Amino acid sequence: MNGLKILLAPKWEHAKEIEAVATVEAEYGVKVLEGSIVTLAHHTGEYRNHPAPCNNEFLPIIQDGTIVISHIDFDTIGGIMHLLGKKPFNPQFWNSVEYIDLNGPHHIRSLPTKHIEMIEAYWAWCYKERAVPKIKELSDVTSLVFKHISAIKRIMNGDKQLIEFGKKWSKNTTEKVESCLRYEDNFIRAFVTENVFCCASYYSQKQKKPVSVTISFHAGRREITIATCDESINCEKVVQMLWGAEAGGRSTIAGSPRGKVMSERDFYNAVNYLNTLNLLKVA
């Protein structure tokens, strides 16, 4: 595989001119970069509802040429492993990885315990090794991807050190997030945080289920972020209703206007507004 190269193209402008033999989740809005041999996409256009790359069993083996990806996560690496003939056989586990890719990490507790431990071990390894850097330009990530592959194979082979570290990391992360929780109901989880990422913490430890919305007040930066796992809610519209057109983001996550100092009163007013939206939605 000396002629193999894996490129990460974070934007369509980076990807569109590359001649790739294979692509793995090289999806950019409505555009997909196609490989001359195989295209592993499952979110966009004609590829929507295809198997996730990690769980697609009918793939060729790639030995030479360029593979293009748009980001690094478990699903992407699993797809590359299959293309390289390096994916361990464990259909039930790859079903679980696909499920989390499609439904979000907050649903991990619905998986078998062994699969939870393996997935969290990988996440913990990524965190410890800083193995998912924020890449903004076209980059050769061949050696980094092989590092991920090695870690995943160790985890799937039952590496006790990585599994135990994953358990501790998961416990510590949950404790840090829960220490920031200021309010929750069956629709919202509200956090005040300095440096703990809480936006994706939809799962309620108390209720033993995910809720639809998180709202986080970043006390140091004096900013508010609203996120959702509910497709019927548009976070960008919500923040613009609250704070005007200068607020923005995406439908799934959005925030207060840049440069505008927000207070805890703004935060709790936003919580009340979200609860009003929920009452209207239920009605």
> Contact 199/225 with Cβ under 8 angstroms?
yes
* Shared domain check, 143 and 16: yes
Among 122, 137, 167, the domain boundary falls at 167
At residue 280, the pLDDT reads: 62
CA 178, CA 12: separation in Å to the nearest integer?
37
CATH classification of the domain holding 248 = 3.10.310.30
3-state secondary structure of 216: strand
26 part of a folded domain: yes
Position 27 in a domain: yes
Sheet holding 188-193, edge to edge: 181-184, 188-193, 213-218, 223-228, 253-255, 248-249
Query: What pLDDT is recorded for position 58?
Result: 85
For 89, the token pair is 């056989």
Q: Is residue 80 part of a domain?
A: yes
Q: What is the pLDDT of residue 283?
A: 38
Q: How many domains does the chain have?
A: 2
Query: Is there a contact between 243 and 257 (Cβ–Cβ < 8 Å)?
Result: yes
- Count CB neighbours of 90 within 10 A: 13
204 and 106 together in one domain:
no
Domain span at 10: 4-167
pLDDT value of position 1: 63
10-residue mean pLDDT series, the chain (283 residues): 90 96 96 97 92 92 96 97 96 97 94 98 97 96 98 98 98 97 96 94 95 96 96 94 95 95 96 85 49
H/E element, 227: strand 223-228
87 and 115 share one domain: yes
> Does residue 172 lie within any of the structural domains?
no
Same domain, 84 and 140: yes
Interacting residues of 17 by C-beta distance below 8 A, sequence separation 6+? none
Whose tokens are 């041999």? That residue is: 37
Q: Give 223's strand partners.
A: 218
Nearest to 93, CA basis, from 111, 110, 71 = 111
Both 187 and 153 in one domain: the answer is no
Q: Which among 137, 167, 197 is the end of a domain? A: 167
Backbone angles phi, psi at 31, to 5 degrees: -100, 145
Q: Which of 93, 96, 50, 43 is nearest to 70 (CA)?
A: 43
pLDDT reported for residue 240: 96
Establish if 248 belongs to a structural domain. Answer: yes
Q: What is the pLDDT of residue 156?
A: 98
Q: Are residues 222 and 160 part of one domain?
A: no
Residues 113 and 209 in one domain: no
Residue 176 placed within a domain: no
Domain boundary among 167, 195, 217: 167
Co-location of 127 and 251 in the same domain: no
Question: What's this model's pTM, rounded to 2 decimal places?
Answer: 0.89
Q: Is residue 175 part of a domain?
A: no
